[in-house]
């Protein structure tokens, strides 16, 4: 009870420190991320793989409109988890930033540079009053100087670089799966399969292609490319991860997105 | 009791996260949407159908002044549900946006583009202080590149694309009806009938033409057109959905609009 | 008790949503409207009738200074109910708007256009912080394209068009009287009598001409005209609604205006 | 108890509506008016009379510095009651307005026009945040188009026109006296006597000339003129209202001014 | 208890009205004035006398740095009581105002004019949000058109003109002494003696010249002049008011200044 | 208990008056001053002495970086006590002010002038909202017109001139010591010894030269000069105030700085 | 309990003083620093050593992206502890400041100058409203005029100069270790070993090179240089501090970074 009352004291107005040095509004924003379905990023030598669970809540909803996978620039893709409308703001911010970089310097923005521009923007919303933090985590993947790079932004505005990571619902379990199974495999195919297996590991080992989205940024071409449903289905079939017909529709989880 | 006290803690000042990562003011705005009568959108190959329940509370009230159906541009219509005065602001915002697009680029705005401009505008009211979220959901339908498109905006500022959807009162039941009966039929007529049947399904299977409004945006003509009361009455009669004379007037529901 | 505590939680700072999607400050502003004496609008084919109950609280008060009936433009009149000082602000806003329209477009503003300018202005005060909503409802009547039009604005900023309506104290009873007795009669005379009978219906069927104000906007002339006390007395006498001498002075009701 | 707690809830921050549609800060400002000594205005055919009770709390205080009677323009006077420092602001506002009117239009400002400029100014302080309402009521009297006019402004920003009125302490009793004794007498003398009798009626029927101030604005000359103490003493003597020597000094009432 | 709780409700944020029409922050600022040592002003035909009790709390403190007596212009002096740092702001404001007047109009500012500029400035801090009232009262004395004038400003922003007055600690007792002994004596000497006797009346009839400051503004010369300690000592000796050596040092009163 | 609750009511938001006319935030800022180690100023005929207790909490901390003694201009030094970071702001403010004075008027700023610029700056933070008061007291010493001057600024923004004073921890005891032992001695040496003895009086009569800092501003040279540790050690030895080797390191007092 | 309630009273809104003169938000920010892993700075004659504990929470996380060691300019490095996103803001601020200095004055910024620019920036966030303090401590090391300098900035905005120091988790124990073992050794090697031993002292005397970062700024070259993992491993091996293989991965501490 007391702990609860104490917590409530910190959730109003601008983001401020609690007596033990925590920023509750930022931690609550992390909870908003967990309310979103999972997104996964895997880095291989041949490029970066981004995979997202879009879990469609109605058969009448167009899956393509559930925006969790975004092209930020030719060579950079972003997967998000959490509050969808907030994600859109950050994606727009990242796209404009990438565009400005091309205009100003005549070259594609670096993945790390872009990530840090985004996290600096996020941090402002945790320190200056009059607004709330962003309730979203991003996975930013791309090619920089011929190298695949994979970053995470969290609601505190901290940038991290990963070999492979998950954000959103079931992050803990999926991350554990990735740590046990990631072997730095060379090919994009290996990365795609690992991402799908990781997602399936928290879904009774079967997935519905309509409820997924997958993109790769190849090291060689430096091009962001999304797979279509048929391609995803093939991967699922080939790896024995394809769900039965109605599995997805029965999903009753209260999904933030 | 406790849950209630906890909830009250989050409903003041600017919109902020609760300990479980929710934005209560946005969720309360969704309740404001449910307080409005239902609006329905149906997409067919031949175009988009928008249908709204205007439920007139007095015989002296001019039904045409109950604004739930709006022409945003020649090729785009918008149906709303929720807080009427808020809807007017978003409709105005959408119309100006469409007009600006024509002036600046010399061509009609895309349905998706327009929807996202509106949702970005909505999102700002959920993150930056000094205002409350919009208590309204919109169904934006139109023709884009010869294709019918149907979108939803909700109070969080998230855009969704649908084949068919309902917003406002009884959304759950009507959406269920649509999911069971939508077959992607080709003609606008099919769409109109489905929309009316869906609305009737939560009104003892009978409707009053004076309490309805219906609009179509045809794929071929790319023109927004509203049906008059007689045309609606014919549809109702032909499908055995026409209410007895005084059905509507006795409605005592406390209606937001 | 609990309901009361809950309500108190929403009445401070800017207008925000309650858990059930209501805007309490707007609803309280509606209570402010009910604290004002009644105003009535009736639309006939020959024009619009506006009638207001001014109920003078002291014989030394100049009845003409109790402002409830206003000429907004040559062809538009406005009756108000509720917080008088707020009404003055909206009337000024409407007048300036009408004047600007004449200057900019060289023609009189439309009744619907003017109404919507006013309601958009009202809505801002319910969404953006730093101010309270307007505690007033307006009846805006006038001639547009040769047709009589009659609108209402409420504190939420929603516009409605009516055949006949009442706002302010006893709205419910008077509106019921109007619904039972309105027959869309042709003449302004019919409209005046209906308005007076409706007002009298909640005043023991007798009225004092000094405590009333009446205006018409004729369809043909498109001119706003106020009746003087003698003309009103004649109507009351002719319809057996004239009160005895001291009836009005004894009024002890706590009147907002 | 409960009523009190409820009231306290509305008295902070900006002025907002209570659940029953009242503006408590405005009502409290009216209490501030009642804390000031009384001011009276009487309109006769020959001009307007303004009389104020200045009740000097120390024999060392210069009575002339207790500002309750003000010349706003050659043809307009203002008497105030309530918070003195607030009154000064409104008087300054009125004077500047009158001056501006002369400069811009080359003619004296109308009494009604001036009153409404003042009340619009007052209203702003009751709706927009960041300030409190004015705790003062004004009686504005003057000549307009050869006619004497007498207005009141209250803390809500509502203008009223009167034949005769009182504001400040004992308003109820004095107003009752005025209603019983006002007969619309023609001469300024009659008005002066009525005003003094009304003031005396709540002061054991005797007044001290040093504790009073009196001004007239004559219809014919259109000139504001203040009476000196000797002139006031004569009126009091002639009407048997002159107090004994020490009456005033013993006054212990806690006077706002 | 209850009264206390009620009071606490009004002391935060901007200055607002209490249910009985009082401005608590202004009244609390008046308490801040009472926390300061006394200042006295006396008007005689030959000029104005200002006297202040500086009560030095340590023998190491330079008495001249306890600022309670200020020259505002050649012909105007100001004595203050209350919050010293606030007084400095108002003195600066007054000095700049006097200087501006000389520059703009080529003549010394009037005492009344200056006083009202100051009180208008004070009033703003009691009505507009974002600041607290000034916790200081000023006695402004000077010569205007060959006449000595003596004014008071209080924390509400009200100006008063006095023959003689006291502000600060023991105001009540000193004012009573002044009322009993002021006889409008002609000479400055008489005024100085009265001021010293009044101060002594609340200090066991003896004063320490080091703890006092005295200034005069002579009617004839129109010059502000401060007396030095020796001159003050002579006045004290001549009137049998001189304290024993250590009287002042033992003072333990908790003094605001 | 009650007193405590009452106090808590005044410590939030902007600085406001309590019912007894106090400014709690200013008084709390005075507590912040007491949390800092002591600083002392002594004025002699030959110049001003500033001495500060720097009490180093770790042998690895460079004593010179504990900033309590500052050169503001060639002829002015400042010693501070309280919140170190706040002190830095005021020192910067004073330095810029001194520099501007030289540029603008071609001469060194007066000690009194500079002090009052600083106190006016401090006062603003106690009256205008949006910031807290400065938690620091300054001792400003220097030469002005060939005379040594010694001033204090406190968190309320009041300037005082002293012969000798202490601020910070143990102010009461040290000030008492100064009052008993100050004899207005002529030489800087006398002043230095008095300052060291006063500091030692609250430190078991022994001091560590590394934990002290000392500066003088000589009347003749008008130059600010800091003593080095060896010079301080000599003074301590000569006056039998030198502490044993480890005395300082064991200090466990919770020191603000 | 009471102490807790009292504390909660000070943690909202802008940073303000508590009754005992403390700034709770600043103290809570210091707790945020303690939540971060430790950073250490050691000054030797040959240069400055910065060492940080990066403790990687997942084997898939790229250790290089855990930013605790930063190059601010060629000759200045900064180690941070606490809230990572806040640290980034201050590092950016420092870098821009160093760059501006080079542009404006054509020479490298001084270490002390840079430190004080940073602390002044930090202080603003503790005094002016609308934002929270920075939850981070910095160790700023570099060469200035051929001398190695080592500074600390804390959340209050106070600058300190050190011979050797630790910030972040276990500060107390590590600082004690440094105090006992620091001997002002000449070589950078000595400094590196001391830093590693100090870190190891709170980690069961063994460290993992992947979880560390080390940088030096040599006095002679004035160049910031980071050691790579192999170099660190060699130091650990040579000093018997190398951890077993899986030691680091099992770390379960809840780490702020």
Q: Which of C8, C13, C133 sits opposite D13 (nearest CB)?
A: C13
CB atoms within 10 A of CB C228: 10
B with G: 3 or more CB pairs under 8 Å?
no
* pLDDT given for residue C255 in this prediction: 40
| E39 dihedral zone (left: phi>0; alpha: psi -120 to 50; beta) | beta
Query: Who contacts D212 (Cβ-Cβ below 8 Å, separation ≥6)?
Result: D51, D52, D53, D54, D196, D199, D232
**Residue of B93, B69, B213 whose CA lies nearest to B157:** B93
pLDDT at D245: 55
Q: What pLDDT does E38 receive? A: 97
Cα distance from G229 to chain F (closest Cα, Å)?
Answer: 29
Neighbouring C-beta atoms of residue D20, cutoff 10 Å: 11
Whole-number Cα distances in Å, D205 to D79, D247, E164: 22, 12, 31
pLDDT attached to residue F128: 78
Q: Which of A170, A167, A103 is nearest to A140 (CA)?
A: A167
Q: How many CB atoms lie within 10 A of CB B234?
A: 13
Those residues with Cβ within 8 angstroms of residue D101's Cβ, 6 or more apart along the chain or in another chain: D107, D108, D109, D113, D114
Predicted confidence (pLDDT) per residue in F22-67, tens digit: 888 899 999 999 999 999 999 999 999 999 999 888 999 998 888 8
> Which of G21, G151, G182 shows the shortest C-beta gap to F28?
G21
* Interface residues from chain G to A (CB-CB < 8 Å): 4, 7-8, 11-13, 24-25, 28-35, 58-62, 64-67, 83-86, 88-89, 92, 125, 129-135, 256-257
From edge to edge, which strands make up the β-sheet containing E69-73? E69-73, E76-82, E136-144, E147-153, E159-161
Over chain E, what HEC string results? CHHHHHHHCCCCCCCCECCCCCEHHHHHHHHHHHHCCCEEEEEECCEEEEEEECCCCCCCECHHHCCCEEEEECCEEEEEEECHHHHHHHHHHHHHHHHHHHHHHCCCCCHHHHHHHHHHHHHHHHHECCECCCCEEEEEEEEECCEEEEEEECCCCCEEEECEEEECCCHHHHHHHHHHHCCCCCCHHHHHHHHHHHHHHCCCCCECHHHEEEEEEECCCCCEEECCHHHHHHHHHHCCCECCCCCHHHCCCCCCC
Q: Is the pLDDT of residue G3 over 80?
A: no
Do the chains contact at C131 and D127, CB–CB below 8 Å?
A: yes
Shortest distance between the Cα of D80 and any Cα of chain E, in A, equals 14
3-state secondary structure (DSSP) of residue G219? coil
Q: Which residue of E has its CA nearest to F153?
A: E85
Q: What sign has the CA pseudo-torsion G191, G195, G201, G206?
A: negative
Show the CA angle centred on residue E123, arms to residues E122 and E129, nearest 5°: 100
Q: Three-class SS of residue B188? A: helix
Chain B: nearest CA to C71, how far in angstroms? 23
> Running DSSP on this structure, what letter comes out for residue G61?
B
CA distance C237 to B231: 48
Choose among F60, F130, F256: nearest Cβ to G162.
Answer: F60
Q: What is the pLDDT of residues G148-206, one digit of tens each?
A: 999 999 999 999 999 999 999 999 999 999 999 998 777 999 999 999 999 999 999 99
Q: Which chains touch G (3 or more CB pairs under 8 A)?
A: A, F
Chain C residue numbers touching D183 (CB-CB < 8 A): none
Which residues of chain A approach chain G closer than 8 Å at the C-beta? Answer: 6, 9-10, 12-23, 116, 119-120, 122-123, 126-130, 151, 156-165, 175, 178-179, 182
Report mean pLDDT in 10-residue bins for chain B, 257 residues.
34 66 91 96 97 91 91 97 96 97 95 97 87 94 97 96 97 97 88 97 93 96 96 96 63 41
The residue of chain G with its CA nearest to that of F34 is G21
Tokens representing G235?
């130091």
Give residue for tokens 């409008």. E184
Q: Which of residues C56 and E96 earns the better pLDDT score?
A: E96
Best of F16, F26, F31, F60 to mutate (most G CBs within 10 Å, chain G): F60
Within 8 A of A175 by CB-CB distance, chain G residues are 58, 60
Check pLDDT > 80 for residue E45. Answer: yes
Closest Cα in chain C, distance from residue D14 (Å): 7
Segment C178-223, tens digit of pLDDT: 999 998 777 999 999 999 999 999 999 999 999 999 999 999 999 9
**Region G10-26: what's the mean pLDDT?**
72
Q: Which residues on A lie below 8 Å from G62 (Cβ)? A: 160-163
Predicted pLDDT at G13: 44
Contact F130 G14 (CB under 8 A): yes
Question: Using alpha carbons only, how large is chain C's radius of gyration in Å?
Answer: 18
Give the closest-approach CA distance of E132 to chain D in angstroms.
12
> ipTM for the complex?
0.85
**Chain G residue with Cα closest to A7:** G8
CB-based contacts of F145, cutoff 8 Å, min separation 6:
F110
* Distance, CA of B133 to CA of B120 (rounded, Å): 12
Which residues in chain D are contacts of E13 at CB distance < 8 A? Answer: 12-13
Mean pLDDT by 10 residues, chain A (257 residues): 34 66 91 96 97 91 91 97 96 97 95 97 87 94 97 96 97 97 88 97 93 96 96 96 63 41
- Write down the mean pLDDT value for chain G: 89
pLDDT, greater one: B107 or D128: B107
**What is the C-alpha separation between G51 and G42, in angstroms, rounded?**
8
From chain C, the residues in CB contact with B58 under 8 A are: 162, 165, 175, 179
Residue written as token pair 């720097």 = F54
Q: How far is F148 from chain E (nearest CA, A)?
A: 13
- Residue G81, classed as helix, strand or coil, is strand
Of all residues in chain F, the one with the smallest CA distance to E257 is F158
Q: Do F159 and E65 touch (CB under 8 A)?
A: yes
User: DSSP for C144-200?
Assistant: ETTEEEEEEE-TT--EEEBSEEEESTTHHHHHHHHHHH----SSHHHHHHHHHHHHH
Contacts of A129 in chain B (CB under 8 A): 129
Residue C77's nearest CA partner among C39, C133, C105 is C39
Checking if the pLDDT of F121 tops 80, the result is: yes
Q: Give the span between the Cα atoms of G243 and F14, in whole angstroms.
A: 54
Per-residue model confidence as pLDDT tens digits over F242-252: 987 544 444 44
Q: Which candidate from B120, B165, B175 shows the least CB-CB separation from A88?
A: B120
Q: Do B62 and C161 touch (CB under 8 A)?
A: yes
Eight-class DSSP state of F230: H
pLDDT category at E92 given cuts 50, 70, 90 is: very high
Kindly report the nearest CA distance between residue F219 and chain E, in angstroms: 19
Alpha carbon of D57: minimum distance to chain C alpha carbons (Å): 32
Question: Best interface-test mutation with A: which of G10, G31, G65 has the largest number of A CBs within 10 A?
Answer: G65
Q: E165 to chain D: which residues are within 8 Å by CB?
A: 58, 60-61
Round to whole Å and give the CA distance between B160 and A64.
9
With a cut of 60, say whether residue G252 has pLDDT above it: no
Please compute the mean of the pLDDT values over residues D200-217 and round it to a whole number. Answer: 95
Closest residue on chain C to D9 (Cα): C8
Best probe of the D interface among E127, E147, E157, E180, by most D CBs < 10 A, is E127
Which stretches of chain G sit within 8 Å of chain F by CB? Answer: 6, 9-10, 12-23, 116, 119-120, 122-123, 126-130, 151, 156-165, 175, 178-179, 182
- Do β-strands B76-82 and E164-167 pair in parallel, antiparallel, or remain unpaired? unpaired
Contact F127 E130 (CB under 8 A): no
* Predicted local confidence at residue D15, as pLDDT: 67
Euclidean distance between the first and final Cα of chain D, in Å?
31
Per DSSP, the three-state class of C91 is helix
- Choose the closest CB to A19 out of G11, G125, G134: G11
């Amino acid at each position: 009870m007391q702990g609860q009352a104490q917590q409530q004291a910190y959730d109003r107005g601008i983001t401020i420190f609690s007596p033990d040095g925590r920023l509750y509004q930022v931690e609550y924003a992390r909870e908003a991320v967990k309310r979103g379905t999972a997104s996964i990023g895997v880095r291989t030598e041949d490029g970066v793989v981004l995979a997202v669970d879009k879990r469609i809540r109605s058969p009448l909803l167009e899956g393509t409109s559930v925006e969790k996978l975004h092209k930020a620039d030719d060579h950079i893709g972003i997967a998000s988890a959490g509050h969808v409308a907030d994600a859109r703001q950050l994606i727009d911010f990242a796209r404009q930033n990438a565009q400005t970089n091309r205009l100003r310097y005549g070259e594609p923005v670096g993945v790390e540079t872009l990530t840090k521009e985004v996290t600096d923007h996020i941090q402002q919303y945790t320190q200056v009053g009059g607004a709330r933090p962003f309730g979203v985590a991003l996975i930013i993947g791309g090619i920089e100087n011929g190298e695949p790079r994979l970053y995470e932004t969290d609601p505190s505005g901290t940038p991290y670089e990963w070999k492979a990571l998950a954000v959103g619902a079931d992050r803990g379990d999926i991350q554990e799966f990735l740590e046990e199974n990631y072997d730095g495999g060379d090919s994009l195919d290996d990365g795609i399969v690992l991402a799908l297996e990781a997602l399936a590991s928290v879904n009774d080992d079967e997935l519905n292609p309509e409820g997924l989205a997958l993109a790769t940024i190849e090291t060689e071409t430096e091009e962001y490319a999304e797979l279509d449903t048929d391609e995803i289905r093939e991967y699922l079939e080939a790896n024995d991860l394809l769900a039965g017909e109605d599995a997805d529709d029965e999903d009753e989880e209260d999904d933030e997105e």
